[in-house]
């Protein structure tokens, strides 16, 4: 993941951050839809485990049981105070973060979760909810 961050910086995104336990969080001022960022992602994604998260237009094929389990997890996380926890998806939209300042796209067991940058995945509220809801913190 460090190699990916370095590659992104030398490939036209000089402010690209080093990874945290929750993935990469784009700083303010970095446009997640910019051509420079997309070109750098294409060039550097081979450095990520599994080739990196799915990009816009990508689809996955999780089992119906897995998708239902992650829907239950999402509802559980929101009931426990993680209001921005995303619903599970099987595809990445063309503009996954809308007008926000980015976030993290995760593919967990074939389920795509698009976490907004406002969601602090290391907060005590998030980690307690993750434990209570059986959300796999180790794999995103």
pLDDT in tens, the chain (140 residues): 778 788 888 988 888 888 776 566 777 677 776 778 778 877 777 776 555 555 555 556 788 899 999 999 999 999 999 999 999 988 777 666 666 666 777 778 888 888 887 888 888 999 999 999 999 875 44
For the chain, give the number of residues.
140
Q: Residues 6 or more apart from 83 whose CB is under 8 A from it?
A: none
Same domain assignment for residues 136 and 72:
yes
Task: Give the chain's domain count.
Answer: 2
Q: Distance between the two ends of the chain, CA-based, in angstroms?
A: 12
Q: Where in the sequence is the domain holding 80, given as residue range(s)? A: 55-140
Same domain assignment for residues 75 and 32:
no
Question: CB burial class (10 A; 0-12, 13-18, 19+) of residue 64?
Answer: exposed
Same domain assignment for residues 45 and 90:
no
Query: Is-above-0.85 flag for pTM?
Result: no
Same domain assignment for residues 77 and 121:
yes
Compute the distance between CA of residue 51 and CA of residue 105 in angstroms, rounded to an integer. Answer: 13
């Amino acid at each position: 993941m460090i190699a990916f961050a370095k590659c992104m910086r030398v490939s036209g995104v000089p402010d690209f951050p080093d990874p945290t336990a929750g993935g990469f969080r784009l700083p303010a001022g970095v446009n997640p839809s910019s051509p420079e960022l997309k070109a750098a992602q294409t060039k550097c994604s081979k450095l990520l485990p599994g080739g990196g998260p799915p990009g816009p237009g990508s689809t996955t094929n999780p089992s119906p049981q897995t998708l239902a389990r992650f829907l239950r997890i999402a509802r559980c996380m929101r009931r426990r105070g993680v209001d921005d926890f995303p619903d599970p998806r099987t595809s990445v939209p063309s503009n996954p973060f809308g007008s926000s300042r980015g976030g993290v796209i995760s593919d967990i067991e074939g389920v795509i979760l698009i976490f907004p940058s406002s969601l602090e995945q290391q907060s005590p509220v998030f980690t307690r909810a993750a434990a209570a809801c059986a959300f796999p913190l180790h794999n995103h």
